[in-house]
Structures are given as structure tokens and as C-alpha cells.
Amino acid sequence: MRFFFNRGNGLGVGTVAALLIIWELYGRIHPTVYVPAFSTVFVTFIHEWFSPTFGQQAVPSLGRMIIGYTCASCIGIAIGIFIGTFKRLYQLLDPVLQFWRAIPATAIIPVGILLIGIGDPMKWVVIAFGSIWPILINTADGARLVPTERLDTARIFGLSPLETLVRVIVPSAAPMIAAGMRTGLSIAFIMIVVSEMIGSTDGLGYYILQAQRTFAIPEMYGGIALLAILGYLLNTLFVWCEHKVLAWHYGQTTRPA
Amino acid sequence: MQKKSSPVNWSGFGFFLVCVGIVEILARKGLLTSYVPPPSEIFSALWTGLINGDISSQIGVTLSVYVRGLFLATTSAIFIGILMGTYKPVFDSLKIIVEFLRPVPSVAIIPLAILFFGLGPTMRISVITYAAFWPLLINTIYGVRAIDPQALDVARNFGITGGEALWRVTLPSALAGITTGFRVSATIALVVTITTELIAGNNGVGFYISQMEQANRLPPMYAAIILTGIMGYLLNTFYFALERRFVFWTPAARDRVT
């Protein structure tokens, strides 16, 4: 984030303003169904999303995503630590994990629909399934590659295996886990939109596809904009939490500005 | 990286086969639901599909759309990335747009793409291009910015400036970032190709998956899903080999040698 928000914001704001003005003028001079004026989209956005529609469409999406992603994180981290701690196990499972990871996550949505139906549980499962692999594999790598000095030091201080796990392995793996969880979050977001487009009767993915099919074009643009804003907020929230939780890590390592 | 005792992970592949065998036995005994066919049936469906052209004809469609989308994304992202990395005013004017468009989930623009391009390949190419553009753009900018200033100074001492410096100094140094970005983009591009075919295609492997699901022909459906995984794996291996062969001067390549 800091990479982008620094000096020279005037030019950036100017370009954005110029583009919005061009969009508005284009929409007014060339009134087509496909490109409504920016003001129309903006008014529709306010009208749609500051109303019960938000509760009917956006809240179910977010709820499914939170459930699926939380499951993926908990299971992924637990299994990842377990696999990463035992090197033999890691070697044994590596091809199986790589196989599952290689399959594009969205391709398993039809399987989910077949096995579970098109209700909420299907979405929880496919979201969890899609986002678990980067979390699991990153955690396993993080736990596997704990510097030997740290493990040796733990042994010298007579830490029990459980203490070693909680106080040495988990903190050492934490930066890798966070990186995996960040990748997992963006996959979870894609999975929720796609699963709602393919098999759902509510949610944001359903909403924008339905808006397009019924030629409610300003609503479609508004839905995409809401998805963008939610994606941006989720990512920012995640980075903020990561910096709070891993402050010690960024203090230890010299971080490029 | 961990030192491996043997170059090939025999125990891992053995375990993989054992897992497949267990699923086979469980499925044949009917202990799994009827929605999980035995792996042998899936593999024979994959084989017949590849031989008689049912699946193999879809691979061509998918790959052609994928390659065109990825190519468009790569060329435009490298071009804009080098401009943004080299010229501060360009960076300043575009950065807010980049920062706000990047988090838009690529699949969210599928309805928009359908509106403008219909259901044909152009729609899919546009979505793939959009999705694959961002990682490559960001990595190109980082790559260009990470150039050793001394390299540019040396070039200037030898009278190499402007376009020639761009070609002989900036681009080769930035290739480290560009290849990293390309690998991310290529993975995303394949996922998005399959996804757009799944949601709104009229051909391709993703379309085949959803067709087989609706026709309740499960072995071919699973076969096509596994095929997408194999495609991803082979493409990755191919890019990795290309990178080793042609981009041998980057830090990542140096690590591999020493």
C-alpha cells in the first residue's frame, strides 16, 4: 500500500478526475445502454447499497466467505504445522498436496454442487477448499524451514515438545503463514463470486450476473464497484492485522520502505 | 531448500498411488456416494476422451484463448510497467487507478465482458487479460525500480542512453521481476480461462466440465477437472524450463547454480 500512497498524489487524483469526467461526458453525449454516465452509476450505487439490498445480497456473500475462509485457515494451519514438523510426513504427502493445488479451484465447484447441492454448505466447502492450499503449503514450508539454531536453543533450554511448538515453531512460521493466508484470502473472494454465479439465488456474484442478464446495467456496474470496494477493504484490513500481529517480525528484519 | 536424499520422491509418489488405490477399492465397494466414481473409470474416461477427440478438441480451444489473453496481458503490462517504473510523472498519474482497479476480483468483470463482447472467445480473452495484467504490472514496476543505479551510471559512461539503455540495461535487469510476475500471471490466467468457460463459455475444457456435470456423466467430468490440473502443471514446468534457459542472469537463477 505504502508503495502507492506517497508523494505526488495530485497527479493521480487529477488523472482519476479526468477519467471520470470523460466517462460522464461520454455517457451523456453517447447515451447507450452499455455505458451509462458515471453520475447514473453513482446514484444507483448509493440507492442500491444504502438500502436493504445490502443485507440481502452483500451480507450473505460476506458471511459465506468468512465461514469458508476461517475453516480453511484453521484446518490449513493445523495440518500444515503437523506436516511441516514431521519431515518424513511432508515428503510422503508432498505429491498429493501438489496434485490438489494444481487443480484450478473454481473447477471443483461443479463437484461441490453435485455432492452437496447449491445451498450455503456447498459454498463454505468450495471456498474452504479453494483457499486452503496456499495456507496449508505455506504453513508446512514455514514449519519445516525453522532455523536449526532456534530448535537447538529450545532443546538447550529444555522446552517440552508442546512448548517448542507454541513458542518456537509457530512464531517462526508466522510470516509464511501470513503470506499464505493473504493469497488464500484473494482466492476465497474469487471463489465466493464464482460459486454464486454458478449456483445461487442470492449474493453479490448472483446479483451482478443477474443484473447483466436483465439489462440492469447501472446496477451491474454498481455491484462490480461494491465488490472492488469490499476486496480493497478486506485486503487493507488483512494487511493492518498482519502488521499488528507480526510487528516483532518486521522489527527484526530490515524492511524495504 | 531442503536437501533431498533422492532426486525423485519415491515414497511420496508411492503414497499417492496408495491413496488412489484406497479410493478405488472404497468406490468399487460402494462405500462412497455414487457421485465419486472409481479412479480407474476416471482415467479410462480421460484416455478415451483424449483419443476420440471429445476432450482433446476442447484443450485446443482453451489453450488458444489462454495464450492470446496471456500474450496481450504480458506485452501491455511490461510496456506500461517500464513506463511507470522509469518515468515518475507516469507513475504518479496512474498509481491511484492501479491501486483501485487491482483489487477488483477478475471474475467480477465477467458480466461486463459478456455485455461488451458476447459469449465468444473475445470475452474470455478480455477477462484473462485483465486478470493476468496486474501481477505482471506490479512486478515489472518493482523490477525496473530495483535496478542497480551503478549499472545505469556505467552505461552512461559508455555513452549508452535513452532507448539503448532501456533495451540493454533496464529490460535485462527488470527481467528478474518480470519473470516472477509472469509465473503468477500465467497461473491466474489458466484459472480464469477455466472459470470463464465454466460460467459463460460455449466451448473449452471449463465448458466441458459444466456440460458433463449437467448431463450427470461423472467420469468425464472428473477427467476434465484432473486434466486442468495436469495442464497447469505442464505449463508451469514449461515456463520454468524457459526461464532457466533464457533468463539465466537473474538472482533467482544464480541461486540455482551456486
A8: left (phi over 0), alpha (psi -120 to 50) or beta: left
Confidence (pLDDT) at B184: 87
Q: What is the pLDDT of residues A191-204, one digit of tens each?
A: 999 999 988 888 89
Task: Grade residue A7 by pLDDT with cuts at 50, 70 and 90.
Answer: low
Round to the nearest angstrom and report the end-to-end CA distance of chain B.
Answer: 13
Residue in A closest to B188 by C-alpha: A104
Confidence (pLDDT) at B253: 60
Cα separation, A40 vs A24, in Å, equals 9
Helix orientation angle between A170-198 and A120-144, rounded to the nearest 10 degrees: 150
Task: Grade residue A64 by pLDDT with cuts at 50, 70 and 90.
Answer: very high
In chain B, residues with a C-beta closer than 8 Å to the C-beta of A140 are none
Cell of B151: 549499472
**Residues of chain A above pLDDT 90, percent:** 25
Instruction: Decide if A111 and B210 are in contact by the 8 Å CB cutoff.
Output: no
> DSSP string covering A181-217, please?
HHHHHHHHHHHHHHHHHHS-SSSHHHHHHHHHHTT-H
Among A98, A107, A224, beta carbon nearest to B104: A224
Cα separation, A230 vs B208, in Å, equals 32
Residue A156 Cα, gap to closest chain B Cα (Å): 24
Q: What is the 3-state secondary structure (H, E, C) of B16-70?
A: HHHHHHHHHHHHHCCCCCCCCCCHHHHHHHHHHHHHHCCCHHHHHHHHHHHHHHH
Residue in B closest to A114 by C-alpha: B35
Backbone CA torsion sign across A106, B226, B70, B143:
positive
Q: Which of A70, A35, A16, A117 shows the shortest CA–CA distance to B33?
A: A117
Cα separation, A31 vs A234, in Å, equals 35
Instruction: Decide if A107 and B11 are in contact by the 8 Å CB cutoff.
Output: no
Residue pLDDT tens, chain B, 258 long:
444 455 677 888 888 888 888 888 888 887 777 788 888 888 998 998 888 888 888 999 999 999 999 999 999 999 999 999 888 888 888 888 888 788 788 888 999 999 889 888 999 999 999 999 999 999 999 888 888 888 888 888 888 877 788 888 888 888 878 888 898 899 899 999 999 999 887 889 999 999 998 888 889 999 999 999 999 889 988 988 888 887 777 666 655 554
Q: Which residues of B75-98 are buried (b: 16+ CB within 10 A; e: fewer)?
A: eebbebbbebbbeeebbbbbbbeb
Cell of B67: 495464450
Residue B107 Cα, gap to closest chain A Cα (Å): 7
Among B16, B100, B221, beta carbon nearest to A99: B16
Residue B216 Cα, gap to closest chain A Cα (Å): 9
In chain A, residues with a C-beta closer than 8 Å to the C-beta of B226 are 103
Confidence (pLDDT) at B4: 47
Determine phi and psi for A201, rounding to 5 degrees: -120, 5
Cα separation, B82 vs B91, in Å, equals 10
Among A11, A106, A212, beta carbon nearest to B198: A106
Check if the beta carbon of residue B95 is closer than 8 Å to that of residue B81.
no
Confidence (pLDDT) at A254: 52
Instruction: State the average pLDDT over residues A33-43.
Output: 86
Q: Say whether A111 sits in a helix, a strand or coil.
A: helix
Q: What is the ipTM of this complex?
A: 0.82
In chain B, residues with a C-beta closer than 8 Å to the C-beta of A194 are 107, 195, 198-199
Residue A31 DSSP class: -
Interface test with B, best of A34, A194, A217, A232 (most B CBs within 10 A): A194
Check if the beta carbon of residue B104 is closer than 8 Å to that of residue B164.
no
The full set of domains in chain A, from first to last, is 42-252 (1.10.3720.10)
Instruction: Decide if A107 and B228 are in contact by the 8 Å CB cutoff.
Output: yes
The full set of domains in chain B, from first to last, is 57-251 (1.10.3720.10)
Cell of B120: 465468444
A to B CB pairs, distance under 8 Å: 166
Residue in B closest to A197 by C-alpha: B199
Mean pLDDT of chain A, nearest integer: 86
Instruction: State the average pLDDT over residues A5-26.
Output: 81
Instruction: Decide if B96 and A108 are in contact by the 8 Å CB cutoff.
Output: no
Among A10, A189, A198, beta carbon nearest to B198: A198
Instruction: Decide if B15 and A93 are in contact by the 8 Å CB cutoff.
Output: yes
Cα separation, A236 vs B102, in Å, equals 13
Confidence (pLDDT) at B254: 59
Confidence (pLDDT) at B1: 44
CA distances from B236 to B121, B184, B214 (A): 23, 10, 31
Q: Which of A86, A219, A216 shows the shortest CA–CA distance to A140?
A: A86
Cα separation, B47 vs B112, in Å, equals 37
Cα separation, A47 vs A25, in Å, equals 22
Task: Grade residue A5 by pLDDT with cuts at 50, 70 and 90.
Answer: low
Residue in A closest to B211 by C-alpha: A110
In chain A, residues with a C-beta closer than 8 Å to the C-beta of B194 are 104, 106-107
In chain B, residues with a C-beta closer than 8 Å to the C-beta of A235 are 103
> DSSP string covering chain B, please?
-PPPSSSS-HHHHHHHHHHHHHHHHHHHTT-S-TTS--HHHHHHHHHHHHHHSTTHHHHHHHHHHHHHHHHHHHHHHHHHHHHHHH-HHHHHHHHHHHHHHTTS-GGGGHHHHHHHHTTSHHHHHHHHHHHHHHHHHHHHHHHHHTS-HHHHHHHHHTT--HHHHIIIIIHHHHHHHHHHHHHHHHHHHHHHHHHHHHHH-SSSHHHHHHHHHHTT-HHHHHHHHHHHHHHHHHHHHHHHHHHHHH-TTSHHHHHHH-
Cα separation, A100 vs B19, in Å, equals 13
Round to the nearest angstrom and report the end-to-end CA distance of chain A.
Answer: 11
In chain B, residues with a C-beta closer than 8 Å to the C-beta of A186 are 105
Instruction: State the average pLDDT over residues A213-227.
Output: 90
Backbone CA torsion sign across A129, A131, A137, A141:
negative
B9: left (phi over 0), alpha (psi -120 to 50) or beta: beta
Cα separation, A98 vs A91, in Å, equals 11
